[in-house]
């Protein structure tokens, strides 16, 4: 059933709070560490080996007894007999005895008897590929532990190296692998089904008939979902026909954790989304105090309502976004992206990076709504270290060229009708998603 529609405009924070109250991290799954970048660990990673697993050398050179070379200098080098060589990946064949040395390569295991490594540059041995010398003259004194990496000095066996809840990055992947983890438990990636509506829509690349436009919302919402870490699938373009829309929506629900539909959420004669959503579950249609993107639908259903008998209790969130592409983009950023990140276990780090900037030009907006204006950020020539926010083209909700040129969204509060040039504003950085 549909929840009562609010007679007022919902604030952005109130709408987001209602949405996030339904978000729960998805179940965990195992994958290789290199497949888990950007995902949240559902269980800690525990080292199955120490790092390093044994004492090894940080240098190419000669493994020695420090007492043998304690008085070595340029003027009085110490000559040692070279017994053998130990390379990385091999077990030393000989121990270091008094008055002897083993040639050793970086990362190789320290042989018994040695307590220091003299770099090859501090000897008379030639660097690089060379035959094993019978003896070596050491020109620099070495102290106990010189150029050694001790077993377990980085990580110890059984130590938790990565806690649950951490977002795994490249360095974390390397640490997990080095610690012996062939698989890690991570929160499952949300599956997003994207569905566009409207008789006027034609897939990009196909000829346009009279009165038709190319569908830009489907590719837009697919890439926004994927940028938020989701697995996104298009379920096509639904015509303005209630039964066809209901069937396509049910198919999307049966294969998704979140369905994002664009268009048809207003009050037009052919806006059938309300009925299609109501047939599946609990839905609220809101008017949110945001510009662009005032109409918004959010609801909840289960896979079983869509006919998925294999997993009938699986919850599925429903989002209905405006049909204008800029409105769809902004409402996805404000409401869908945080929800997807919460499903993925990200929680409080869902927000975009935010900076302060100075408006380069005056702006106006609708009263009572928080505006998210598309802007380009550039250095302020008058104030070193300060940014200017310059409107990026037209600000209409249908004007994609300005959105493509933008690298930020400047926030103008509800209580003002606009801001003059020179005003201080908060800007949500869109990273590398601008034009």
Task: Give the model confidence (pLDDT) of 215-251 as tens digits.
Answer: 899 999 999 999 999 999 999 999 888 899 999 999 9
Given the candidates 3.30.565.10, 2.170.190.11, 2.60.40.420, 3.30.70.260, the CATH classification of the domain at 56-149 is 2.170.190.11
Task: Give the per-residue pLDDT at 224.
Answer: 96
Structurally, what CATH architecture does the domain formed by 38-50+154-187 represent?
Answer: Alpha-Beta Complex (3.90)
- Ranges in the chain annotated CATH 2.40.340.10: 354-429
Is 414's pLDDT higher than 90? yes
| pTM confidence score | 0.84
Query: For residues 127 and 61, is the Cβ–Cβ distance under 8 A?
Result: no
Domain with CATH 3.40.980.10 in the chain: 12-27+188-350
Phi, psi for 267 (deg, rounded to 5): -120, 25
- What digits encode the pLDDT tens for the residues 152-170? 999 999 999 999 999 999 9
Evaluate whether the domain defined by 354-429 bears CATH number 1.10.150.170: no
The CATH 3.90.105.10 domain(s) of the chain lie at 38-50+154-187
Q: Residue with structure tokens 């250095």?
A: 379
Q: What angle do CA 14, 20, 21 make, to 5 degrees?
A: 90
Of the CA atoms within 13 Å of residue 37, those in its CB half-sphere come to 8
**How confident is the model over 271-299, as a mean pLDDT?**
87
What is the Cα–Cα distance from 110 to 15, expressed in whole angstroms? 62
Instruction: Give the model's pLDDT for residue 204.
Output: 84
Q: Compute CA distances 231 → 153, 228, 246, 258, whole Å.
A: 40, 9, 23, 10
The SS3 of residue 90 is: coil
Q: Measured between alpha carbons, how far is 432 from 435 in angstroms, rounded to an integer?
A: 8
Copy the structure tokens of residue 79.
Answer: 């000559």
User: What letter would DSSP give residue 182?
Assistant: S
Query: Span 12-27+188-350: which CATH code?
Result: 3.40.980.10
Ranges for all domains in the chain classified under CATH 2.170.190.11: 56-149
Output DSSP code: residue 37. T
Nearest to 29 by CA among 20, 40, 18, 38: 40
Q: Compute how many other C-beta atoms are within 10 angstroms of the C-beta atom of residue 331.
A: 28
Computed over every residue of the chain, the mean pLDDT equals 91
The 10s digit of each residue's pLDDT in 10-20 is: 999 999 999 99
């Amino acid at each position: 059933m549909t929840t009562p529609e609010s007679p007022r405009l919902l604030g952005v924070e109130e709408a987001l709070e209602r949405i996030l109250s339904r978000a729960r991290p998805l179940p965990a799954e195992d994958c290789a560490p290199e497949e888990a970048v950007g995902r949240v660990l559902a269980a800690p990673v525990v080292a199955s080996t120490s790092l390093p697993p044994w004492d090894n050398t940080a240098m190419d050179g000669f493994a020695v007894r420090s007492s043998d070379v304690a008085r070595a200098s340029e003027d009085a080098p110490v000559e040692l007999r070279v017994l053998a060589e130990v390379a990385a990946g091999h077990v030393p064949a000989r121990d270091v005895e008094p008055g002897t040395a083993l040639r050793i390569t970086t990362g190789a295991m320290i042989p018994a008897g040695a307590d220091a490594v003299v770099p090859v540059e501090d000897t008379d041995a030639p660097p690089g590929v060379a035959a094993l010398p019978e003896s070596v003259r050491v020109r620099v004194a070495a102290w106990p532990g010189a150029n050694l990496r001790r077993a377990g000095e980085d990580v110890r066996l059984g130590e938790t190296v990565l806690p649950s809840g951490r977002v795994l990055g490249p360095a974390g992947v390397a640490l997990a692998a080095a610690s012996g983890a062939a698989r890690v438990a991570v929160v499952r990636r949300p599956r997003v089904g994207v569905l566009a509506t409207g008789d006027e829509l034609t897939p990009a690349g196909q000829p346009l008939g009279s009165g038709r436009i190319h569908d830009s919302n489907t590719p837009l919402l697919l890439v926004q979902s994927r940028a938020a870490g989701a697995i996104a699938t298009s379920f096509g373009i639904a015509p303005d026909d209630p039964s066809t829309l209901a069937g396509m929506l049910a198919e999307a629900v049966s294969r998704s954790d979140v369905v994002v539909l664009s268009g048809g959420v207003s009050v037009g004669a052919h806006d059938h989304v309300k009925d299609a959503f109501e047939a599946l579950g609990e839905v609220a249609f809101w008017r949110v105090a945001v510009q662009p993107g005032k109409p918004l639908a959010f609801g909840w259903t289960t896979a079983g309502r869509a006919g998925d008998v294999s997993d009938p209790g699986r919850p599925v969130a429903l989002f209905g976004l405006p049909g204008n592409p800029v409105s769809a983009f902004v409402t996805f950023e404000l409401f869908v992206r945080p929800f997807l990140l919460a499903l993925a276990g990200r929680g409080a780090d869902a927000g975009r990076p935010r900076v302060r900037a100075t408006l380069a030009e005056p702006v106006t907006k609708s009263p009572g709504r928080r505006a998210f204006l598309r802007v380009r950020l550039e250095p302020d020539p008058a104030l070193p270290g300060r940014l200017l926010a310059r409107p990026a083209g037209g600000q209409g909700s249908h004007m994609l060229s300005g959105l493509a040129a933008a690298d930020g969204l400047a926030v103008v509060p509800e209580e003002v009708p606009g801001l003059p040039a020179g005003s201080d504003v908060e800007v949500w950085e869109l990273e590398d998603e601008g034009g």
